[in-house]
Each structure stands twice: as C-alpha cells, then as structure tokens.
Structure 1
Amino acid sequence: MAVEGGYAEFFGPQVPSTGDDGQTPTFALASAAYRDNEADEILKADSEWHKSSVSKPRIALFRPNLGEAFSRAVIDRMLGSGRAPLIQSFGTQPQVVVEHSLAAHRIRRERDNRLSAVMVLCGVLFLPGLLVWLLVFQIRTTIAGREDKRAGVLATTLLVAMGLLAVVFLLRMPFDGFWGWYARACVVAPVIGWFWAKRICERTAHDLRERWSGLLSGGSVGAKVPEAVPSSPGETAAEELRQSLARLSAEQQSNSVFYAGPKGILGMGTRWGSWQLAEELVPADPDREINPFRSWDVIKAVHDRLRMLERGPLHTGGFPKPTVRHWIVTPIGENAGAVSRPEGTDVEAYQIKPHAIQEICNNQQFGAGDRHYLGVQWTLWDGQLVITMLITVTVLHETLRIEVTGHALGPVHPLFTSKPAAKEKSVQKSVRFWETRTVKLPLVDTDEVVRLAARAPLTWYPPLLYWLGGKLSLPEPFGLRHAWADKPWRHRFMADDALRAATPVLRAVHSAAIKVLKENGVDTEKFGARSAGLSGAIQEAAPKKADVYDA
C-alpha cells in the first residue's frame, strides 16, 4: 500500500492473484459498480429464490443507471450503521466488491462536484431557461420510453422544434434592456453548460469503462479509496469506515449459517442430494456393554479423515485441499426477510466458540434449537463453483444416524461477466433502403448528459434522490454471492465435479465412523452392509431438489 500525503493511494487488491480463491466472481460482481447499463438490467440476474427490485422513478431524469444504483445499494447495505446481518459470500471476497463500490462512488462524486458547479454557473443563475430545458428533456425521456416505434422519432422532433424555437426567441426577443439580455442568457447559458458537462461526463465514462473492462480481463485494477484510511486520530468518518470493512471481513469468517427451507443453506446453495445411514447400536460382545461415547467422538474422527481427502494412492491429481469446518446451522423461514446471528458469551467476533459447538453437537439433536454440521467445502473454477458436503451425526435411543448432504452454488449470472460493448445501432441505408448499416453512437449522448447534470446537485442528499429517481433494493437476507448465483447443472464439467465429490466423501465419512464404533465395542456388521449399499447407490447420483418434499 503506497502512502502519499498521509493517505493510502490504494486500498484493496491491486493485482489479481491466481488460483481458486474466488477472483472471477469477485471481480465480476465488483464490475457492476462501474457499469452504465439501465438499472433494470440487474433484474435479469435474479435467481429462482432471491429477487431484487428497482423502484419506479417519479421523475425519469433522476433515475440511476446500474452502476450508480448497485454501488450505492451495496455501500448502504454492507457498511451502513446498524445494518442487518449479512450472509457469507462463499467463493468470493465481499470486502473487495465493497471497496470497488466505494471507489466507483468516489469517482462519480468527483464528477458530480464538477457538474454541480456547472449547474450553478450555467443553470441556477439562469433558472427560467434551465427549467424550460429540463422540462423539454423530461417530456422527451417520457416519450422515448414508450414501446411505440414512432416514439423515438417524436422525441427527436420535439428537441429539434425546441431548438428552432430558441433560435427564433433569440432573434425576435420581446424584451429590451437588462431583461432582454437576461432572457437571451437563459436560453444560451444552459446550452453552453451542456457542452461543458458533456466533456466532464465523457472523461468519467471512459474511466469507469476502463475499470469495468480491466476487472473482467484480469488487469491490475485497484480500488482507490483513500477515505478508508485515517491519516490522523481526529478523522472519525475514516475510522468508522475502516471498522465497518473489518467487521465485514469478520462476519465473512463466521461459522454460523442459516437454513431457509427449499432455498437450502443461504450462501451454500440448495441441497441437491441426501444419503443417510441409520442402524441400531448393538454390542459386538453380548457379554459386554458398549463403551460410552458421544456424537462428538464420531464427528472428530470424521473431521480428521476428511482432512486427508486430497491424498490418494495414485498420483493422478484428484481433490485439491478442501476446507473442513464445523458449522452451526440456524433454521429460518423460507420467506424470512432477515436473520439474527447468535450472541452471548459463547460467541466472539461472529465465531461460535469450540466448547459451544461441541455441546450443540452432543445435545441438540431433537426439537428446537440450532444444529451442528461438519462441512467439507471446495471452491473450484476460480470461485465460480462452490461444493459443500455436510455431515451430521445423531443418536436417538439406540439408533445412530449419519447423514451426508450435498450443496452446490453455481457461477455468478452471465450479466456480471459481460464486458463493455461499443454503443451502436443499425439504420437503413439512404439509397438501398432494404439494407442496414451499423452506426456508432457517442459514449455519452445528449440525454445522458442532462440526466447526470440534473442528478449531480442532489447526490449530496441521497434520500431525496431515491424518492425522485428510485433505487435498487437488494434481496434479503442479503449476501453478495448467493443473490445472483446461477445453477451449476447447466455446465457439464461443473455438474460432474459436484456429483463426483459425493462418493469419496460418503465413503470417507462411513469409514471413519465405523472405525470409532468398532473401537467402542459396537457390532458394525449392519453398519457395514448399509454403508456398502449406499456406496453403490451413490455412484448414480443425480441432482434433485432434496428440500422440496412431495407431501
């Protein structure tokens, strides 16, 4: 991190690293902060279970584009004071996405500062003319938004007619003296301001598009957020921002997750498969009782065995090193709008302490309360695929049950991986009217300059801007990764990876559990037979909606 004048020049990642560390979905999501598409485009990326919304603007001139709406929504939701808990973004780095949202917001804020100065000098001082021009563009925007093909021609005709009327007004001014010259200035000054604003908007648009393209191309695009690093003890805003980013990173490492019925475990994806081994605990020696043991003893052995999954008898690649963790799963409603993380003396920095995990594993196996799961997780395809296998062990009366479930979270929606395209349209040729030709359009057109200039002074008070132009509402409970995840089953190799992981995990779990049972004097004949049956059946594993019960 380079420091200049007491500020951090760059805050966050500068050079994308390689490997399956989630860079691809992280930068894909971060690129949304720099985009200039219509805000409604993000609705196409909504999954079956998670829906976002874009409120309809009261005045079309004040509507946000995708990058403005996304960056503002992400900053408010993930860094806002008193924010609700977030869902972990497995396979991504949410802090990086937030940093890029801050950087994009900072770039636009600098542009809006300049546009606000233009609005004051060329607009507010000549308010009557400004209001007339804004009214014309508002009507033009409303007309152009209709589905009728003639609407675009009508909108252009309106603007040309207004221009001709302005010229006539300048030549045949009905006033004399000071008011005559002021009236002329009211017509001309907003037009001069438009040319000035256009240069400002084009420079910023090129910068944003370069960052958008750079993130998706793997370039060294850093998130420039100097306001996130305090340069003196008195900078409370910078210190609060730094603490918010640190809190975001800590919550990302939480070992508490939420089960939302058919939606599966939020952040891990839906449950696509379930395999259960349940047999009676019978002493191997009829003359001796079973040695007392608990669920935690079985889970601990399974944990040690799963950590060895990357090792095999042949040197043929195989599994990369998995992440093996103990999870505490809290049930919530399918349509729950928020979650509440565990609190109390057993929780520290969003982490449930080991002794509390062990107690839940041994005691909370029936009735209300959280449940314990042991998870083995792979982040593959550079973060585009997250495979999670969860194991839970329960003992009710004389029956021990070992359940293995599969969860898969697919790649981010293709909307986020699309690179910026040149703005162009097809028009008919003047002579050969039955043929068309492609015409390049300006990066920032007339309507866009007016929209940005009109919004600029109001960006200092977001609530009013939201009320006038609308805003993006993120799906709740919100997590960056699962909100816009696509299904992995449409990608042949991703589907193969998810299905192939189930068999070796199931066999490793059963092998470790049966070993513990033997050591404690349990007759494992039925467990072994049942395990062999499951081992054969799982070889034909197929994804299904395991949480959607036909009842």
Structure 2
Amino acid sequence: MASDGFDFSPGAQIPLQGSGGQAVATNALASAAYRDSPVEKILDANSEWHKSEVKVGRSKLFRSDYFKPNLGEAFSRAVQERMLGGARKALIQSFGTDPQTVVEHCLSATRLRKSRDTKLTAVTALFGFFFLPGMILWVLAFRLRDYLGNTKDKALSALGGALLPIIGIVALVFMVGLPLNGFLALYVRAMIVAPVVGWFIAKRIAESSAKDMRARWEGLLSGGGVIAKIPEAVPKNPNETSREALRQGLEKLSAEQQSNSVFYAGPKGILGMGTRWGSWQLAEELVPKEPGKEFHQFRSWDLVRAIHDQLKVLERGPLNTGGFPTPSVTHWIVSPVGENADSVSRPDGEDVATFQVKPHEIQRICNHQQFGSGDRHYLGVQFTLWEGQLIITMMITVTVLHETLRIEVTGHALGPVHSLFTSKPAAKTKTVNKTVRFWETRDITLPLVESSEVVRLALRAPFTWYPPLLDYLGGKIALPEPFGLRHAWAEKPWRHRFMADDAMRAATPVLRAVHSAALRVLDENGVDTERFDNRSMVLSGAVQDPTPRKADVYDA
C-alpha cells in the first residue's frame, strides 16, 4: 500500500488528547480500559450488525477462572493488538471519536497493570513458588470454595463460605502437632504460612491498583481530564526501535482516521456512518432553456463543486437562533463490500497518499464512474453532535445517464455509544437479611477486591510478560470485523427523542441547499429548470415526513 513504511509525523511527540466536541464518546470508550467488570459484559453492547465475542481459554490443565481476564484487561489487549498490530487489517473510521486517545488509554492502563503485576510477580515468587506445594494446596482450597459457593444447594453454598476458616484451623492444628524435626519441619510450616502472608501483601497491592483504575474510570466519565501517560511512545534515541514503532503506529492510526475512503456494506450501510434511514432523488431530463439551442456543456463535478460551496455555509441563517454548528463537508470515495465481509481494503497506488485519495482522482471518479463496477463519489456533510454521541451524515451523489440528471440525497445516522460504556463505577454491595428482623433486608458493602480476585491477579502476574500465553489460558475478546471503535458499539439514535429530532431536522435544510445550488448551475448553463424546480418542491414536502426507514433494506 501507499501508506506502508511511511512516517506520518514530523517527529517524536506525545499526541494530544481527545479533541473538543467529541469528548463524551471518546472518554466512554476509553473508560473500558480501566474497568474491572466481568469480561462477558462486553456482549451486552453487541448491536444488530456488529457482535463482539468472548473466546474462552483452551487449556484443559487450568480449567478455572483464575487466568480469565476482566473486561479492562481483555479490552485493552484486544484494542491495542487490533489497532497497532504490525499486520493489522484496515480500520473503519471512528466518526465523532478520537481513536488515538482511546488506544493511548489502553496503553496507559496496560502500563499500570504491568507495574502492578511486577510487584505481584515478586510476591508470588517469594511467597508462592518457593513454597509451591503450599501454594497449590491453598489455590485448590480457593477453587473448591468458589465451586461450592456457586452451587444451588444452600448447604453446600454455606459450606463453601466457611471452608477457608475451617481449613485455616486445620492447618494451625497440623502445624502445632507436626511430627517432623529440623529443616523439613520449618519448610512445611513455612509452606502453610507463606502463601497466606503473600496473599495479604498481594491484597494490598491489588486494592491500591483497583482504586487507581476506578478513579481513572470515574474521571473519564465525569470529564475530569484524565491523561493517558505513555512514555514508551516517545523515543529518546534512534536505537529505541520499539518506541519508534509504537509512535509511528499511533501516527498511522490518526492518518487512517482522516482517510476519505469509506465502505458500503449493503444493509449495514456505510461502515462507520450507520445505516441509510432516508433517500430523496431528484431525476429529470436535461432540456435546453431556449428551443432549438443547446445548453452549455458541464460535468457532474461542476454541480458537485457548487453544492460543496453551498453546504459550507449551512451554519449561516437569516435569524440569530443558534441552528447548525459548522459542518464537515468532505468528498468521499465509497467502495462496495459484501454485507458479511470480514475485512476491507483501502484504495492504493499513485493516486493515494497517506490514506487520502488525491483530488484529481476524486474528480475523475465523480465525472466518469457513475455506472457499472468501481468506486463511486459522494459529497458528504457531517454534523458531530451531543459531544460525539450522535453523528448525522447527509450524502449527495450526482449522476448523468444519457439525458437524465439525477441528484440523490441520503441520510445516515450513527447513535450514541452503548450505555455499558457510560456507566460509572459503583460500590460493590450485597443485600442480606437482618439478623433479628429477618423479614427486613440491609445492604452491606463488599471488599473492593475479593479474595478470589487477589488469587487471580497473583496467578496471572508471572505470565503477563507473554500475553499470547494468557490468551490461551484465560481467553480474550474477539472484536467484530471490519472493526472500527465507534460503530462497533453504537446504539440506534431513534430511541432518544432529541437525537432522532436532530437527525430528521437536518435533512430538510440540507436537501434544499443541495437543490438550490444545483438549480443555479443548471440555470447558468442554459438548462430548462422548470421540471427540476417542480420536482424539488415535491421532495421538499416529502422530506418533512417524520418517519425514519430502513432505506438500505430493499423489500424485493
């Protein structure tokens, strides 16, 4: 590809954090990197078209949850690998979101966990591996307790809750009456005590880390300006190839985010922009204004350029009433892909530079590729609203076949990030019966880090130096393909009254601006615009129909 091996930036630097106007969606996605929820929670955010998957570990030897990642660990690992991997596939743009900021927070969260795991590894080695038989016995005791605690039998569940104290008493009696002497007696006693001491130290480390992670999670969703610290992305000398590769990976990610090529996946709509909810077509015959004379020759690009200029001033109005924010008007090259395609391929060659199709090629596609195979040109006007939670895109295409000019305007809407990502951390509580007034209940606060979680972190820590091994033992998240951070976990905007209103209100002024610019160009070139004007009036009334439809699903 034209982009391979290209340095997209002037030099080493830490990229700026999320840009204004899209902070809510960006921070919501970034907060997933710090979460300690069960990994299966990601399945709640699956949409109709894009589904994540949790791949369970394949190891038969460690058939337990002690190597299973939580949501933050699995999300950070999956996103880093998918968006910065050397052999990664093309990404879908994340409109209304800064994907680089999300990836930086994933890197920052991984860095914090590595620091924690380094301490836990030392604790596990000192108090666990040196006393391996005792550690295995205690791990089996925790495993048995979890198994009994999860059974439906109340007696077994109660036994599971009391199992560790019972084992502790038995171990104490065993230590006192141990029929051994010398070094072996000391080792056996230490073998029983050392894992318990290590567990208490590991618990302190785990609680400190959990508080830090939850503070960042809370800060991102509260707008507290949490900064992702990734010093490993700033090379200090030319020999630090890994840091340089990471820096270039982040720059490449930003460059691909700015690409002007998108993909149409049938009923899934334009990937990253959402499905098409409305379509309005103005198609009439090109007839000279004066009988017996020919109108002046013009091309599709002449119309598109006039429409482009008209759309750039949409925020201007006759009344000082707020209205449209400044829109983003872009020439898009749209490539068709299959509805169930698992990957996409961006245009390459001499007409593409740093993921951008060059202007002369855009103009050629606009004028000549209007029928048959090949990419198509669309002019898009996009509004990023609700701080990145709503993306409204109106796409305009102009075609001329024989003597018929067709101007089509379609509406696309991408809804808010799934509510899973906007939920703040809550204290862990449990509802129990009161001791005396057993018919009443009360809430008790559970420890931030439970006993089993300490064991899980301590057992995973020595393996974090080689993430693929942890993927094998504990499982991972399989991201939906073709992957883009924003559209993979977006909800439909139609469930939110004001968002739905914004999407449908944008259609009428955009349609009228497009028709106004087109009719002006036709009139200047000597084309009879009476039929076009009449048809435009009909469409101007039809666009006020307040019902969004599945325009990409043809009932045929």
TM-score relative to the length of structure 1 = 0.95
SS in 1 for 2:407: strand
- Quote the offset at 1:151 in angstroms: 6.2
State the AA in 1 paired with 2:32.
Answer: A
- More deviation, 446-455/288-297: 288-297
1:483 aligns with 2:488: yes
For residues 269 and 152 of structure 2, the distance between their equivalents in structure 1, rounded to whole angstroms, comes to 40
Supply the RMSD in Å over aligned alpha carbons.
1.6
- Quote the offset at 1:147 in angstroms: 6.2
State the AA in 1 paired with 2:391.
Answer: V
For residues 481 and 157 of structure 2, the distance between their equivalents in structure 1, rounded to whole angstroms, comes to 37
Contact conserved, 1:13 with 1:222, CA < 8 A, in 2? no
Aligned residue among 125, 141, 154 for 2:146: 141
**Corresponding residue for residue 50 of structure 1:** 50
**Corresponding residue for residue 329 of structure 1:** 334
- Quote the offset at 1:163 in angstroms: 2.2
Quick one: structure 1 residues 238 and 180, their matched pair in 2 at CA, closer, same or farther if it must change by over 3 Å? same
**Corresponding residue for residue 528 of structure 1:** 533
For residues 150 and 490 of structure 1, the distance between their equivalents in structure 2, rounded to whole angstroms, comes to 46
1:363 aligns with 2:368: yes
**Corresponding residue for residue 310 of structure 1:** 315
The percentage of aligned residue pairs carrying the same residue is 67
After superposition, give the CA deviation of every residue in 1:266-304 in whole Å (9 maximum; x if it has no partner): 111111000011111111222112222111111111101
For residues 334 and 150 of structure 1, the distance between their equivalents in structure 2, rounded to whole angstroms, comes to 52
State the AA in 2 paired with 1:223.
Answer: A
SS in 2 for 1:460: coil
Quick one: structure 1 residues 484 and 143, their matched pair in 2 at CA, closer, same or farther if it must change by over 3 Å? farther
State the AA in 2 paired with 1:291.
Answer: H
State the AA in 2 paired with 1:50.
Answer: H
**Corresponding residue for residue 123 of structure 1:** 128
Aligned residue among 336, 344, 347 for 1:339: 344
SS in 2 for 1:373: strand
- Quote the offset at 1:166 in angstroms: 1.8
SS in 1 for 2:212: helix
SS in 1 for 2:83: helix
**Corresponding residue for residue 258 of structure 2:** 253
1:417 aligns with 2:422: yes
TM-score relative to the length of structure 2 = 0.94
Quick one: structure 1 residues 468 and 34, their matched pair in 2 at CA, closer, same or farther if it must change by over 3 Å? same
**Corresponding residue for residue 235 of structure 2:** 230
After superposition, give the CA deviation of every residue in 1:385-410 in whole Å (9 maximum; x if it has no partner): 11000000111111111100000011
**Corresponding residue for residue 4 of structure 2:** none
Aligned residue among 459, 462, 465 for 1:460: 465
SS in 1 for 2:43: helix
**Corresponding residue for residue 542 of structure 1:** 547
- Quote the offset at 1:13 in angstroms: 4.8
Residues 100-499 of structure 1 aligned to structure 2 (within 5 Å): 100-145=105-150, 152-499=157-504
- More deviation, 515-524/363-372: 515-524
Contact conserved, 1:283 with 1:523, CA < 8 A, in 2? yes
After superposition, give the CA deviation of every residue in 1:92-125 in whole Å (9 maximum; x if it has no partner): 1000000011000000000000000011100110
Contact conserved, 1:377 with 1:389, CA < 8 A, in 2? yes
**How many residues in Structure 1 have an aligned counterpart in Structure 2?**
540
For residues 238 and 484 of structure 2, the distance between their equivalents in structure 1, rounded to whole angstroms, comes to 33
**Corresponding residue for residue 35 of structure 1:** 35
For residues 476 and 77 of structure 2, the distance between their equivalents in structure 1, rounded to whole angstroms, comes to 9
Quick one: structure 1 residues 417 and 12, their matched pair in 2 at CA, closer, same or farther if it must change by over 3 Å? farther
Unaligned runs of 5+ in 1: 1-7
For residues 394 and 37 of structure 2, the distance between their equivalents in structure 1, rounded to whole angstroms, comes to 38
Quick one: structure 1 residues 151 and 237, their matched pair in 2 at CA, closer, same or farther if it must change by over 3 Å? farther
Quick one: structure 1 residues 36 and 504, their matched pair in 2 at CA, closer, same or farther if it must change by over 3 Å? same
State the AA in 1 paired with 2:422.
Answer: T
For residues 236 and 414 of structure 1, the distance between their equivalents in structure 2, rounded to whole angstroms, comes to 39
State the AA in 2 paired with 1:395.
Answer: V
After superposition, give the CA deviation of every residue in 1:433-468 in whole Å (9 maximum; x if it has no partner): 111111111111111100000000011111111111
SS in 2 for 1:33: helix
State the AA in 2 paired with 1:331.
Answer: P
**Corresponding residue for residue 61 of structure 1:** 66
After superposition, give the CA deviation of every residue in 1:176-204 in whole Å (9 maximum; x if it has no partner): 32222211111111001001101111111
After superposition, give the CA deviation of every residue in 1:502-542 in whole Å (9 maximum; x if it has no partner): 00100111111111111222111111111100001111232
SS in 2 for 1:230: coil
Residues 17-28 of structure 1 aligned to structure 2 (within 5 Å): 19=20, 21-28=21-28
Quick one: structure 1 residues 251 and 390, their matched pair in 2 at CA, closer, same or farther if it must change by over 3 Å? same
State the AA in 2 paired with 1:47.
Answer: S
After superposition, give the CA deviation of every residue in 1:64-94 in whole Å (9 maximum; x if it has no partner): 1111111111111111111111100000100
For residues 33 and 344 of structure 1, the distance between their equivalents in structure 2, rounded to whole angstroms, comes to 36
Contact conserved, 1:128 with 1:186, CA < 8 A, in 2? yes
Unaligned runs of 5+ in 2: 1-11, 58-62
SS in 1 for 2:56: coil
Quick one: structure 1 residues 144 and 470, their matched pair in 2 at CA, closer, same or farther if it must change by over 3 Å? farther
State the AA in 2 paired with 1:315.
Answer: N
State the AA in 2 paired with 1:413.
Answer: H
SS in 2 for 1:55: strand
